Structures are given as structure tokens and as C-alpha cells.
């Protein structure tokens, strides 16, 4: 089952469609409309507004449940935690339908808790295809998410990236920028090395 990339625009994050699961919800609802009949679940990798901006509209359009990690759930209705005021707006004001924890499965996606960018950041790993939806934990240029926002932690981010280096990742699908379909583990290793070198 291939991962379909739905590119974000400007500062807003990417979305990915994996079977009947939509990962993140900041792309325009018109970009999701062609897939509305197949989407049953929306998984948010974290609570920042550039990943949740249209969660209410998309969830309503698709009649889909909304899932987020326990530690980021409050960000769906808290302007400070979602950073929505940085975008000149308010948080979606939503209560999630399902709270996620590390190790759970959403369809055939394995939830991996990767704090550091936010306390409740997660990645989603599709083991049979060695595909990782990495949110803002790591990017395909060897970069990593900021940890200077409220709730961020360099130490936690370093631990999370170290955890990701133990996975066999071919396709890497980040929250921002372009995905790669091969060699994802090398990009994760690059992020690990850059964080260690730059922030000793």
C-alpha cells in the first residue's frame, strides 16, 4: 500500500494518505476532497497549528475520527500549546476522538512516541514497507524539528532521533519538505549526527 504525499503550502505541513488513514491535517480541504470517501482516521503527529489547521473541516468532510498523543491532546484547544497565535488565528478547539500511546497501532501504522519537538510528538512506522511518517522529528535534508518552542526539549529530541536510527527506514515522509522513497535511514542518521555536532 503506497504512501500518497499531499504537499503542504507555505509554512503548513504535509499530509500523507496511507490506506484509510490521513496523517496530519493542515493541507487545504480541497486537496483532501478526492479521497474523502476512503479516509476513516486522521492521525496528528503533534499539535502545532501548521499540522492541525484544517482538522475540523477535514474530519467533518470525511466523517473521520481524530487521533493524537495524550501529551499533545490539549493543544487542539489551547492556543499557546498549538502556537496558533503565531499564525494570527485560534486553535481548532477540538477534543480528540482517540488518545494515542506509544506502541499502539492505527491500522497497520505503528505509533512511536518521539518527544522533543513537542511533548506528544509521534512518528508512524509502516513496517512492511519500511516507511516512516516522521512529523517534525526529522526531515529528509538531515535536519530536525525545533526544540525551543514551549514543551520542546533538546535532550528528548536527541533520544527520539536515536530511537529512530534503530529502525530500518527506506521511505521517509517528513512533516515539511519533500519525502524520499529510498535511503531514509541515512537521513535520520544525518539528523542524529547534526544534532550531536551542533548542540554539544
pLDDT digit string (tens) for the chain, length 200 residues: 689 999 998 889 999 999 999 999 999 999 999 999 999 999 999 999 999 999 999 999 999 999 999 999 999 999 999 999 999 999 999 999 999 999 999 999 999 999 999 999 999 999 999 999 999 999 998 899 999 999 999 999 999 999 999 999 999 999 999 999 999 999 999 999 998 887 54
Taking alpha carbons only, the member of 72, 37, 42 closest to residue 150 is: 72
The count of residues in the chain is: 200
At the topology level, CATH places domain 4-198 in Metallo-beta-lactamase; Chain A (3.60.15)
> Can you read off the three cell numbers belonging to residue 179?
519525502
76-96: burial string, b at 16+ Cβ within 10 Å, e else: bbeeebbbbeeeeeebbebeb
What SS3 class is residue 121? coil
What's the Rg (C-alpha) of the chain? 15
Rounded distance between C-alpha atoms, residue 18 and residue 118, angstroms: 23
> Can you read off the three cell numbers belonging to residue 54?
484544517
> Can you read off the three cell numbers belonging to residue 191?
539528523
Amino acid at each position: 500500500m503506497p504512501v500518497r504525499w499531499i504537499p503542504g503550502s507555505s509554512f503548513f505541513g504535509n499530509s500523507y494518505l496511507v490506506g484509510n488513514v490521513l496523517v496530519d491535517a493542515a493541507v487545504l480541504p480541497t486537496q483532501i476532497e478526492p479521497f474523502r470517501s476512503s479516509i476513516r482516521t486522521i492521525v496528528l503527529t503533534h499539535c502545532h497549528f501548521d499540522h492541525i489547521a484544517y482538522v475540523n473541516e477535514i474530519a467533518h468532510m470525511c466523517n473521520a475520527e481524530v487521533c493524537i498523543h495524550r501529551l499533545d491532546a490539549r493543544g487542539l484547544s489551547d492556543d499557546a500549546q498549538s502556537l496558533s497565535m503565531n499564525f494570527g488565528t485560534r486553535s481548532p478547539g477540538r477534543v480528540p476522538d482517540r488518545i494515542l500511546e506509544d506502541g499502539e497501532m492505527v491500522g497497520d501504522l505503528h505509533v512511536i512516541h518521539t518527544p522533543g519537538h513537542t511533548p506528544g510528538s509521534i512518528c508512524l512506522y509502516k513496517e512492511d514497507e519500511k516507511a516512516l511518517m516522521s512529523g517534525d522529528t526529522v526531515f529528509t535534508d538531515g535536519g530536525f524539528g525545533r526544540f525551543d518552542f514551549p514543551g520542546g526539549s533538546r535532550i528528548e529530541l536527541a533520544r527520539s532521533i536515536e530511537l529512530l536510527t534503530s529502525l530500518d527506514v527506506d521511505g521517509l515522509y517528513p512533516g515539511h519538505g519533500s519525502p524520499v522513497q529510498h535511503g531514509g535511514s541515512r537521513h535520520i542518521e544525518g539528523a542524529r549526527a547534526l544534532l550531536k555536532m551542533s548542540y554539544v
